Amino acid sequence: MSHQSIIPQTPLESKEHEDHYNKICKDYNHLMETMPKSNGWRVEHLYNYNGFWINPIYIKANLLLHAYFKPQPTDIFLASFMKSGTTWLKALIFSTLTRHLYSFSDHYLHHHGPQSTFPFLDSECESYPISDFTHMCSPRLFATHFPRTLLPESMASCKFVYLCREPKDVLVSKWVFMSKLREKDLPPFSLDEAFDLFCEGVSDYGPFWEHVLSYWRPSLESSEKILFLKYEEVKRQPEVVVRRLATFMGVPFTTEEVEKGVVENIVKLCSFENLSNLEVNKKGVEKFGKVEVENREFFRKGVIGDWRNYLSDEMKQRIDGIIDEKLKGSALIFGA
């Protein structure tokens, strides 16, 4: 599917609004004609937008986000590279923050997919007018896959939880997911092709290493604003991570809560085994802009190291070499 130029669809409130929106449309159309493009994973092409490979829908969303989204200092963002465990972290963050509102025997997450717990900002900004999100209680929670450098500077006062994951597991998870959602009129997408593109940095929101570094570097300077997490550490020590999350979000667990097992209950509620077996996550569907995704697609295996079932030794050597080189000097490392 090739991209289409955007023209205003909605009657706009005033001449000033109309001019502003028309300018954004013009900028978008100009970008689409000038940006380098490469093969896409789900859609035909990704475009290199300020150093990152982005689906055209989200380039437009990014322009609208910059123009209209008004962050509040109390907002908390869950930022992640795709397929790093966003679904899991959404469930953990939501159930930690709302722990006084739901009982663990009849919880919101028993009836709703984790992706529905708070808005995915990138999709929310897909079309004009975007919501002002003023109906949301404070602190408002949002998820995004945009790298830090593609987000407005005005978000600097907000808190970010950043989640990343071992890149070979990300690659495999992303290839399986995108192959399923791939537009039907496109040819099949082989793992070899996905692998080569990933190594060149070309996958939605890539290069992987630039994305991770865009949050890693500022997290070193302001750990009170950016909590940098790895999927593997959440897997190994979920209770420790949930307690860190609560403290970071300004709602630390009390001794009484810890003694009553609230942390363990949250971890159990959000475990892969529990969530993936719920009816809502076997049969339910979530809408992201115009794209519908079955909840079960967000739960595949949920393990560390599944790349071993897909990548050869040679592929491992190549991708590890690239990641080592790109992250050199950053002190950021991923386990094998």
Residue 249 CB neighbour total at 10 angstroms: 17
Of the pair 80, 219, the CB lying nearest ligand PAP is at: 80
Near ligand PAP by CB under 6 A: residue from 39, 87, 95, 214: 87
Tokens of 280: 């809502």
Alpha carbon of residue 250 to chain centroid: 22
Are the beta carbons of 80 and 86 closer than 8 angstroms?
A: yes
Residue 219 CB neighbour total at 10 angstroms: 18
Near ligand PAP by CB under 6 A: residue from 62, 80, 116, 295: 80
Give min distance, CB of 280 to ligand PAP, in A. Answer: 13
Q: Does 206 bind ligand PAP (CB under 6 A)?
A: no
Query: What residue type is assigned to position 125 of the chain?
Result: C
Q: Of 19-27, 179-187, 297-305, 316-324, which segment contacts ligand PAP by CB under 6 A?
A: 297-305
Three-class DSSP category at 93 = helix
Q: Of 69-77, 86-94, 150-158, 218-226, which segment contacts ligand PAP by CB under 6 A?
A: 86-94
Place of tokens 């404070």: 138
Are the beta carbons of 94 and 178 closer than 8 angstroms?
A: no
Q: Does 148 bind ligand PAP (CB under 6 A)?
A: no
Q: Does 95 bind ligand PAP (CB under 6 A)?
A: no
Whole-angstrom CA distances from 202 to 95, 135, 331 are 34, 37, 24
Rg (CA), the chain: 20
Three-class DSSP category at 328 = coil
Phi and psi (nearest 5°) for 91?
-65, -45
Residue window 40-79: x/- pattern of binding to ligand PAP, with contact defined by CB under 6 A:
----------------------------------------
Q: Of 57-65, 104-112, 188-196, 295-303, which segment contacts ligand PAP by CB under 6 A?
A: 295-303
Of the pair 300, 326, the CB lying nearest ligand PAP is at: 300
> Could you say which of 3, 107, 145, 211 is catalytic?
145
Residue 183 CB neighbour total at 10 angstroms: 11
Three-class DSSP category at 227 = strand
Near ligand PAP by CB under 6 A: residue from 83, 148, 168, 211: 83
Near ligand PAP by CB under 6 A: residue from 298, 311, 315, 322: 298
Give min distance, CB of 185 to ligand PAP, in A. Answer: 22
Count of residues in the chain? 336
Q: Does 265 bind ligand PAP (CB under 6 A)?
A: no
Q: Does 116 bind ligand PAP (CB under 6 A)?
A: no
Whether 145 is catalytic is yes
Task: Round to whole Å and give the CA distance between 64 and 124.
Answer: 10
Q: Does 82 bind ligand PAP (CB under 6 A)?
A: yes
Q: Does 147 bind ligand PAP (CB under 6 A)?
A: no
> Are β-strands 76-80 and 159-164 bridged in parallel, bridged antiparallel, or unpaired?
parallel
Q: Does 308 bind ligand PAP (CB under 6 A)?
A: no
Residue window 156-195: x/- pattern of binding to ligand PAP, with contact defined by CB under 6 A:
-------------x---x----------------------
Strand stretches in the chain, DSSP E: 37-39, 45-49, 52-54, 76-80, 141-144, 159-164, 226-230, 285-288, 291-294
Tokens of 205: 């929101």
Task: Round to whole Å and give the CA distance between 126 and 169.
Answer: 28
Give min distance, CB of 300 to ligand PAP, in A. Answer: 3
List interacting residues with ligand PAP (CB under 6 A): 80, 82-88, 169, 173, 270-272, 275, 298-302, 306
Name the residues annotated as catalytic.
Answer: 145
